[in-house]
Amino acid sequence: MLAPVLARLSLLSELSRVRVDCAGRLFLLEAAPGVDAAAALEAARTVLGTGARPLTVASQLEALTRGELWFSAEDVRALSYLEARVLAARVCDRVIPEVALGVAEADRLEDAAVAELRATLDRVHDEGGRTSSAWFDPAWPGIAEGIAARVKDALGEAAFQELRRALLRARG
């Protein structure tokens, strides 16, 4: 995940501005006042690794002028919240037709899914991120249980068990 990398880069006194492009491949790094570019790059390599290299001047200018969006660590966390909302909608689109829920229960389920997914993504950010998105599928059963637990008191036992099973299938 990018937010922890951006957070570590932001702590470097040699850098005054740190952003990442929407693909997560390019970092916009500005040297702090009085710090030369070589020293700033060397400091950044302590976080990014020794393979980090600057773009050519022409490539840098092109990346800045073509309308590319550049995100801070806070922006990346906000994007995770959007991702939580999209995932919740997809899960609910799969689950609601399988489970007999009224409108109020379906709305509550979607709110619960958003809340549980946001909480999960917050924990991942707070723990320093993950090296890939492969963590999500093994985590899904726990996330599904968390979603179900958030709406349990609004459902009878049979509906709750049916919802749990549908949520577990929803990610697969």
Q: Which pLDDT tens digit goes with each residue over 25-61?
A: 888 888 999 999 899 999 999 988 888 888 777 887 7
Q: At what angle do helices 2-10 and 73-95 cross, to 10 degrees?
A: 170
Is there a single domain that holds both residue 20 and residue 99?
Answer: no
Final residue before a domain boundary, out of 71, 92, 112: 71
| DSSP 3-state of 98 | coil
Is there a single domain that holds both residue 52 and residue 21?
Answer: yes
pLDDT of residue 76: 86
In the structure encoding, which two tokens stand for residue 19, read together?
A: 């952003």
pLDDT of residue 61: 77
Q: At what angle do helices 136-151 and 157-170 cross, to 10 degrees?
A: 160
Measure the CA–CA gap between 57 and 50, rounded to whole angstroms.
Answer: 20
Is there a single domain that holds both residue 143 and residue 83?
Answer: yes
pLDDT of residue 55: 79
Is there a single domain that holds both residue 98 and residue 50?
Answer: no
Is there a single domain that holds both residue 144 and residue 95?
Answer: yes
Is there a single domain that holds both residue 66 and residue 149?
Answer: no
Is there a single domain that holds both residue 44 and residue 123?
Answer: no
Q: At what angle do helices 73-95 and 103-126 cross, to 10 degrees?
A: 150
The whole-model pTM stands at 0.77
The length of the chain is: 172
pLDDT of residue 81: 92
CA distance readout (Å), 97 to 19, 81, 91: 41, 25, 11
Q: Residue 59: which domain range?
A: 2-71
Q: List per-residue pLDDT tens for the chain, 172 residues long.
A: 577 788 888 889 999 999 888 878 888 888 999 999 899 999 999 988 888 888 777 887 787 778 878 888 888 888 889 999 999 999 999 999 999 899 999 999 999 999 999 999 999 888 877 777 788 999 999 999 999 999 999 999 999 999 999 999 997 4
In the structure encoding, which two tokens stand for residue 117, read together?
A: 């997914």
Measure the CA–CA gap between 146 and 141, rounded to whole angstroms.
Answer: 9
Is there a single domain that holds both residue 133 and residue 150?
Answer: yes
- Based on the structure, what is the number of domains in the chain? 2
Final residue before a domain boundary, out of 71, 88, 117: 71
pLDDT of residue 1: 59
Q: Is-contact 5 48, C-beta < 8 A?
A: yes
Is there a single domain that holds both residue 88 and residue 129?
Answer: yes
Measure the CA–CA gap between 163 and 100, rounded to whole angstroms.
Answer: 9
Is there a single domain that holds both residue 96 and residue 122?
Answer: yes
Is there a single domain that holds both residue 50 and residue 78?
Answer: no
Cβ-based burial of 20 (10 A; exposed 0-12, middle 13-18, buried ≥19): buried
Final residue before a domain boundary, out of 71, 99, 114: 71
Is there a single domain that holds both residue 24 and residue 83?
Answer: no
Ramachandran sector of residue 128 (left: φ over 0; alpha: ψ -120 to 50; beta: rest): left
